[in-house]
Structure 1
Amino acid sequence: MSDGISDDAEDVVGLLTERIEARFAMDMDQLKAAVAAAPAANPDATDVVRWHGLLVEAQSVLDRAEDDLLAALETQPSEVDDPTMDLAHHVNAAVTARDGRAMVVRWLLDPDAPGRKGLATERLARLRPRSGPAVQTSAPHRAAGTPAPASGWRAGRPVR
């Protein structure tokens, strides 16, 4: 962007992309393709690619929010109206989301970061996505003639 608001912030995305590419010795497109082909082969790479994608998405949302705010500010008299203030709040929220995702990417790239070793790492590993659902997602098979259990729900509402 040439507006100056987030030029430095956009550099964060670029710098983190460079760090990812250096860490995995391939460019982002190659890394994304490798993760898509074998997501379980390198869980660290899979996590980094996922969060990098979320970071890029958050930066895009921020860019649009900033553009909307700048356009609104250009039409404002000396006082800012409520819809323009809402746009400013949206920019702040977008900055927070982008910065949070950038922090996660930095954490994922730092093998010595707190929580990356020992018991915390083992606990995190248990939270990684599984290949199948953690709970049964379909109704259990019932023998013919066995009535369905009463569920307490009718027409999408709890029975009172």
Structure 2
Amino acid sequence: MSDGITDGAEDVLGVLTERIEARFGMDIGQLKAAVAASPAANPDATDVVKWHGLLAQAQSVLDRAEDDLLAALETQPSEADDPTMDLARRVNAAVTTRDGRAMVVRWLLDPDAPGKKDLAAERLARLRPRSGPAVPTSAPVPAGTPAPASVRQMGRSVR
């Protein structure tokens, strides 16, 4: 859209698409094809492709909402009527959605983003085999059996 309301700002989708292509060393079409062929091969690429698609969808909704608002404003006298104000709210909601999705894509592309280090450590931990149970376990005590002395003493210290 060349006369759009948000054209004063950078083309968010275009800028992020360029960053994705630079990060993965291929154009977005090739990246989408690679992810479709093998989604588990690179979880980062799979996430970026998913969110890029959601961003593109949100940008399309925003473009349509802006077009509708501009058309309505061209036919308005000096003040906007309620239907035109509803269109303006639709544009605001579309901008919010688009910007939120753009933030997710930016976060996915930034290896030093807050939470990424913890996320990487968590992924590594899931890949490593465990040597034993995560929580110590013991056999259940049949009903009516007195609890061991250590448990009875613990109960007294809590009271």
User: How does the TM-score come out when normalised to structure 2?
Assistant: 0.74
Q: Is the 8 A contact 1:13 1:56 kept in 2?
A: yes
Q: Is the 8 A contact 2:4 2:67 kept in 1?
A: no
| CA offset digits 1:73-99 (Å, max 9, x no partner) | 111111111000000000000000000
Judged with a 3 Å threshold, the aligned counterparts in structure 2 of structure 1 residues 101 and 8 are, in CA distance, closer, same or farther, namely farther
Partner of 1:17: 17
Which segment is superposed worse, 69-78 or 4-13?
4-13
Q: Once the 2 structures are TM-superposed, how far is the Cα of residue 122 of structure 1 from its aligned partner?
A: 2.3
Rounded Cα–Cα distance in structure 1 between residues aligned with 2:121 and 2:90: 34
Q: Which runs of 5+ in 1 are unaligned?
A: 127-160
Which structure has the larger Rg over C-alpha atoms? 2
Between Structure 1 and Structure 2, how many residues are aligned? 125
Matches within 5 A, 1:5-154: 5-9=5-9, 11-118=11-118, 122=122
Amino acid at match of 2:112: D
Judged with a 3 Å threshold, the aligned counterparts in structure 2 of structure 1 residues 6 and 111 are, in CA distance, closer, same or farther, namely same
Q: Which runs of 5+ in 2 are unaligned?
A: 127-159
Q: CA RMSD in A?
A: 1.9
Amino acid at match of 1:101: R
User: How does the TM-score come out when normalised to structure 1?
Assistant: 0.73
Structure 1 runs, 4 residues or longer, greater than 2 Å off: 119-123
| CA offset digits 1:16-50 (Å, max 9, x no partner) | 10110010000000000000000011000000000
